[in-house]
Amino acid sequence: MLSAHFEYPGQAGAGIAIMMIEDVKLSRRLSTLHLTLWQGGLLSQAPWINPAVSRRVVLAYVTYTNLRTLTGLSMPTRYEVTPTSKLPPLPDSKWELSRLPKGFELWCSLRNWNFYLPRGEPPFPGVVDIWVRMASGERVTQDTLAYVVDSFPWNLHNYFAAPETPTISTDGSRERKSETQSGQAQREEQRPGLWSPTVVMNIETKALLPDEGVEWLAVRLMTKQIKDGRFDIDILVRTVEGEIVALSQQLAMIVSIERHTKKGGPLTKAAL
């Protein structure tokens, strides 16, 4: 896969799904496919879906090419990462494993990953460097890169928010810090009541991972603005050696968790 554009018109749920693939353009160098993921009211034979009941939960345009044979102009840009993002020896006093708090039983997907975040305040406002590996001990492969760029520590907002930022309640109102509790600690308490669904996601593959996969990936997350319940995320994924393997841009919302856990489940109506 060279690149992909995802949109999420509905909220997916655990269970059976049907993916329909439409050939948009097929050629030797670049091919484009249109993918639609359906859930709810699925049939056991063609046409596989019931238009009156089934729902589109994911739409995607994917561009494919053979990255092993792709050739063209290459030149260095002198882009460098900061020393703070170098792989830490484990255990390491400067990095800590992100652990899910109580009330996050629904976040099964986050249990598939180990996120290591820097202790203390991030070195730059709106920028977070983390290290990621699979909780099962399996190696991360090329096929799971899209999963990597759409999985974040539950308390990511703590690292994005400026130290002077007041806490944010589940209804979006601002609260003043208490004298006995830091702003970061208060924000962490509020976060279990919030949910950050992805609205749009773009991915570009820069390099192929080894066939056997890798144990660690370095992920840099950057945001420019968090406003009116929405925020942007730029994602840079690198190997231990510093090679860029993927880039991603996302638009996400910040909403009450009640929209995710409301009666009727994820397949009754879109959460947004």
Fold entry, domain 86-263: Porin (2.40.160)
Dig out the tokens for 207 from the structure: 């390099």
pLDDT of residue 267: 45
Q: Which residue has the tokens 């319940």?
A: 229
54-110 pLDDT, tens per residue?
999 999 999 999 999 998 999 988 777 655 556 555 556 778 888 877 766 666 778
Query: What pTM, to 2 d.p., does this model score?
Result: 0.81
CB neighbour list of residue 202: distance below 8 Å, 6 or more residues apart: 3, 4, 5, 6, 248, 249, 250
Grade residue 271 by pLDDT with cuts at 50, 70 and 90.
very low
Half-sphere exposure of 263 (CA within 13 A, CB side): 0
Question: DSSP character for 154?
Answer: T
The number of helix segments (H) and strand segments (E) in the chain equals: 4, 16
Every domain range in the chain assigned CATH 2.40.160.210:
86-263
Q: How far apart are CA 88 and CA 82, in angstroms?
A: 13
Helix (H), strand (E) at residue 258: helix 258-261
CA 150 to chain centre: 2
What is the secondary structure of 85-105 as a DSSP string?
Answer: GSPPPSS-TTEEE----TT-T
Residue 67: how many other CB atoms lie within 10 Å: 13
210-269 pLDDT, tens per residue?
999 999 999 999 999 989 989 999 999 999 888 999 999 999 988 877 665 554 455 443
Q: How far apart are CA 145 and CA 209, in angstroms?
A: 9
**Beta partners for 247?**
204, 236
Q: Which whole-number Å values give the CA distances from 246 to 40, 46, 186, 250, in the listed order?
A: 32, 36, 34, 13
